[in-house]
Structure 1
Amino acid sequence: MKPILGITMGDAAGVGPEIIIKALTDTHIYDIARPIVFGDKKIMERAIGLLHSKLTCNSVQNPQQGYFRYGTIDIVDLDNLPADLPFAKVDARAGKAAYEYIAKAMQFALKQDIHAIVTAPLNKEALNLSGCNYPGHTEILGALSGEKDYSMMLVSGSLKVIHVTTHVALREACDLVKKERVLKVIKLADETLKLMGIEKPRIAVAGLNPHCGEHGLFGTEDELEILPAIKLAQQAGINAIGPMPPDSVFHRAANLGEFDIVVVMYHDQGHIPIKVLGFESGVNVTVGLPIIRTSVDHGTAFPIAGEGIADSKSMTESLILGARMANVKFADFLNKE
């Protein structure tokens, strides 16, 4: 059997519904998975009309009721929003609804009634206006699952990165680069790449400071925090090396193929090379949770919302990767089905 992918609709004022519709016009998605949307049927039907698509929606209460056949989009309809919700405007109603789509999908994922969650973008301002005070999807999913040791992984073509810190001020990020956290993220990288089908992951760990601190000349974090974590990972049988200069490690990973992933120390250290290499097709993976979560690696794109021109490559890649990971994690279960 194919894994069930729960797709959360994201902020209805953005491009989320549109890119979901476009991705689900690809028959290959139905060859590898059983997709179901968590959102608002009225909003999805508006997107279908916007795109002049022939797809239809099938409203269900739970994933077991889904048809899972090409041409019909199964949707767990939370019926939260009006059909005429304005495009491209920050709206607390859309922010609250986006949170509720995630929460509902998480309920089914924790029971293994769906095998992965794939998220469309939400708007952080709308989310917080609604009273949901989270920096983004990663932190919401962590709170809903009760997990604290999670991390963000980005995947784009030949490069994968995983973050020691993400949505914090840069000054704070430097203080959070500690041996225990670095070691945890190295272990998460190893576990997740194996879930992606890489049997013996090759992990490069980027330094924090220029030239990895140059033996304390430009900072001590590389020697005192990062290097000890790498040594502990090696003792545990993980193929990790570093710290490596950030100005060369991405070239060695992406262009020379020496590494399967780079452990990065802060948000932009990982996001910039990923988006230079493939902004439109990047995938965001939350690791360290009891569930599989993949996501588009872009925002709600308000400037083009409602115009029908949003690119759905990242959503398509997120669905494909979510299905691949679910097939590894739930192989025995899916075979029994």
Structure 2
Amino acid sequence: MLKIAITSGDSDGIGLEIAEKALLKMGPQKGAHFLIWRSASSFPRNLKKLDKKFKLVSFASPLKALNYLLSAEMKANQLVEIVSEESPALWVQQTAVWCQQKQLHGMVTGPLSKTEIYRAGLQDMGHTDILKRISRSQKVHMGFLGNKFNVVLNTAHIPLSKVSTSMNVVDLLSGIEAANALRKMLPVAQQKKPIGVLGLNPHAGEEGLIGIEEREFVTKALNEAAKAKIPVLGPLVPDAAFLEENWKKYSVYLALYHDQGLIPFKAIHGQKSGVHVSLGIPFVRTSVDHGTAKDIFGKNKAIANSMIDAIQACLRLAKSSIK
């Protein structure tokens, strides 16, 4: 039986709303039990509706909740809930520890702000840094699965001014390997397509006229990847790579920095689809591909599609990981 935890993110964001809506639509899943974290200060809108599909079992103690989830008392239609006074950032940290200890098979995270992480006293810049620290993983990349195209980010939350100076062949190869790992998670037909590696500069450097990074690093990394029999193409011209006619050409796009990949991904997929997958950690973590949307908090306007996709992807990947 798969054990999956859901952290609902900032208490004044839409995380709990979309988690409730997702669970309400999905209902109990065969072969899986869920645990969900929420703030003690939250007022869940859909709890009464959820009661029609799940029997909620609430705990204030995270350890007692986990023990119940793992016990023979846990039934197929039950949903374990942790009503917590702690910061949502600490929920992520604790859940990652449980996953690292193999107490859980996977985790799904709702949107968490950098401000909330800071308030919790953590030095991490986001979910990825928390997971990297807990799992002691050296190379962790952010991957995004969409119904139009898929993206992996070579760098995450670093200033744009540092992207070029942080670039080297070894790091680019790490990003290509992460993209290749995501490629292997896709349906067989998509797996057969190459990874499209973006250039850094306009026009992919125009043969060195608009920057040397493509010539110095990108092309060399592509050659090394080809030697390792990883299917790659590039460097692609960044402003043309994401045109609709190119979506079906590649299994995954490797973007060289955060916004290069996420601006087109979020512009196309929005909140209607899209799953964030952490690549390079020893357990399954998926997430929504959008932020806290605090401007619509409490208005029952949030779209739960990305959370549904994230939960379904976590179930699929967790099942595959224990075969």
TM-score (norm 2): 0.88
1:47 to 44, 51, 61: 44
Deviation at 1:140, TM superposition (A): 1.0
Match of 1:166 in 2: 156
Letter in 1 for 2:171: R
Alignment partner, residue 62 of structure 2: none
Structure 1 residue runs without a partner (length 5+): 82-95, 332-337
In 1, Cα distance between equivalents of 2:322 and 2:74? 21
Q: Is the alpha carbon distance of 1:324 and 1:211 closer, same or farther for their aligned partners in structure 2, counting shifts above 3 Å?
A: same
CA contact (8 A) 2:90 2:120 kept: no
CA contact (8 A) 1:164 1:177 kept: no
Deviations 1:59-84 (A, max 9, x none): 323331373534x4212x2x532xxx
CA distance in 2, matches of 1:283, 1:253: 22
Partner deviation per Cα, 1:172-196 (whole Å, 9 max, x = no partner): 1122221111101111111232134
The structure-2 alpha-carbon separation of the partners of 1:261 and 1:273, relative to structure 1 and needing over 3 Å to count, comes to: same
Residues of 2 paired with 1:28 and 1:236: CA distance? 43
Separation (CA, whole Å) in 1 of partners of 2:55 and 2:289: 27
In 2, Cα distance between equivalents of 1:114 and 1:305: 30
> Please, which of 217, 221, 232 is the counterpart of residue 213 of structure 2?
221
Q: What residue is the counterpart of 1:156 in the other structure?
A: 146
User: Are 1:263 and 2:254 an aligned pair?
Assistant: yes
Alignment of 1:61 with 2:66, yes or no, is yes
| CA contact 1:286–1:292 (8 Å) conserved in 2 | yes
DSSP-derived class of the 1:247 partner: helix
Work out the CA distance in 2 between the residues paired with 1:253 and 1:285: 25
Q: Could you tell me how far 1:108 is from its partner in structure 2?
A: 1.8
Amino acid at match of 2:319: N
The alignment status of 1:27 with 2:32, answered yes or no, reads: no
Mapped to 1, the partners of 2:75 and 2:84 lie a distance apart of 23
Aligned to 1:131: 121
Unaligned runs of 5+ in 2: 59-64
1:86 matched to which residue of 2? none
Partner of 2:90: 100
The answer for the alignment partner of 2:100 in structure 1 is 110
RMSD: 2.2
Query: In the TM superposition, what whole-angstrom CA distance separates every residue of 1:78-118 from its partner, at most 9, and x where no partner exists?
Result: x532xxxxxxxxxxxxxx52122112211221122221111
- Return 307-316 or 220-229, whichever deviates more: 307-316
Cα distance between partner residues in 1 of 2:167 and 2:48: 46
Q: Verify: 1:182 aligned to 2:172, yes or no.
A: yes
- 2:303 corresponds to which residue? 311
What do the CA deviations read for 1:245-290 (whole angstroms, capped 9, x no partner)? 11222236754x1111000011111011111211112211111111
In the alignment, which of 167, 172, 184 is matched to residue 194 of structure 1? 184
String of CA shifts for 1:150-203, please: whole Å, max 9, x gaps: 111122212111111121111111222211111011111112321345454521
Residues 196-239 of structure 1: per-residue CA shift (max 9 Å, x gap):
45454521101001111111100000011011111111101111
State the alpha-carbon separation in 2 of the partners of residues 201 and 330 from structure 1.
26
TM-score of the pair, normalised by structure 1: 0.85
CA distance in 2, matches of 1:287, 1:329: 13
Partner in structure 1 of residue 84 of structure 2: 80
Q: The residue matched to 1:176 in structure 2 has which SS?
A: coil
CA distance 1:185–1:68, change in 2 (3 Å): farther
Q: How many residues align?
A: 310
Q: Say whether the 8 Å CA contact 2:20–2:46 is kept in structure 1.
A: no
* Percentage of pairs with the same residue: 29
Residue 56 of structure 1, CA deviation: 4.6
Q: Do the aligned partners of 1:10 and 1:122 also contact (CA within 8 Å) in 2? A: yes
